[in-house]
């Protein structure tokens, strides 16, 4: 039975690392018998002054749960966060400042073979003299067994006038 679990875990790690290498918007890490994949999905382009959505997902395909999970999402200026929607078993809060918007998402425990998704509504506003601007949305995750820098994902959005 134990050999089967180790084989399953190894296959999951190989599969996720292979898939994770195909996308610049995700990162995969392992720790404490868990395999966590963090992804950010933003549209390729967004129009200045119009709301758009960004999704952040945390997926655990490991044998153990991920405990004390926390994700910080940074949206650079001129993006501001309008609202966030977190699953009922987690919580999220946001604030906007001169450098853009930040979302703090407390996952709590991400059980084995489960996924949690955060929905962010944001908007960017270019000044009349600004041209198209490429912006990078960045998400970082920490948890028990997941150190800062182990799970980092990003996606680019081009803000157009």
pLDDT at 34: 67
% of the chain exceeding 70 in pLDDT = 80
For CA atoms 1, 64, 116, 98, give the dihedral sign: negative
Decide: 108 and 149 in contact? Cβ < 8 Å.
no
pLDDT at 29: 57
What's the chain's average pLDDT? 85
Decide: 76 and 101 in contact? Cβ < 8 Å.
no
- Residue 115's H or E segment, with its range, is strand 114-124
pLDDT at 153: 96
Q: Of 1-5, 32-36, 82-86, 128-132, which range is least confident? A: 1-5
**What string of DSSP letters covers 65-85?**
-EEEEEEEEEEETTEEEEEEE
Backbone phi and psi for residue 72, each to the nearest 5 degrees, phi listed first:
-110, 125
Full set of structural domains in the chain with CATH: 2-160 (2.60.40.1530)
Using DSSP's 3-state secondary structure scheme, residue 101 falls into strand
Q: How many beta carbons lie within 10 A of that of residue 110, not counting itself?
A: 24
Rounded to an integer, the average pLDDT of 117-145 is: 95
Bigger pLDDT: 8 vs 148: 148
Query: Tokens for 120?
Result: 């962010």
Rounded to an integer, the average pLDDT of 17-30 is: 49
User: Which residues pair with residue 121 across a beta bridge?
Assistant: 53, 83
pLDDT at 33: 57
pLDDT tens, residue by residue, 38-53: 999 999 999 999 999 9
Q: Is the pLDDT of residue 134 over 80?
A: yes
Q: Is the pLDDT of residue 8 over 80?
A: no
Where are the extended beta strands (E) located within 14-99?
26-31, 34-41, 45-47, 52-60, 66-76, 79-85, 91-97
pLDDT at 61: 84
């Amino acid at each position: 039975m134990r050999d089967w679990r180790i084989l399953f875990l190894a296959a999951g790690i190989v599969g996720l690392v292979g898939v994770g290498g195909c996308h610049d918007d995700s990162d995969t890490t392992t720790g404490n018998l868990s395999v966590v994949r963090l992804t950010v999905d933003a549209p390729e382009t967004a129009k200045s002054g119009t709301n758009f959505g960004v999704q952040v997902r945390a997926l655990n395909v490991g044998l153990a749960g991920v405990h004390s999970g926390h994700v910080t999402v940074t949206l650079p200026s001129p993006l501001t966060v309008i609202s966030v929607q977190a699953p009922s078993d987690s919580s999220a809060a946001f604030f906007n400042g001169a450098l853009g918007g930040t979302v703090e998402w407390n996952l709590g425990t991400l059980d084995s073979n489960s996924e949690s998704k955060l929905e962010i509504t944001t908007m960017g506003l270019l000044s009349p003299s600004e041209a198209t601007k490429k912006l990078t949305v960045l998400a970082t995750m920490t948890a028990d067994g997941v150190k800062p820098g182990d799970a980092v994902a990003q996606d680019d959005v081009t803000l157009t006038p």
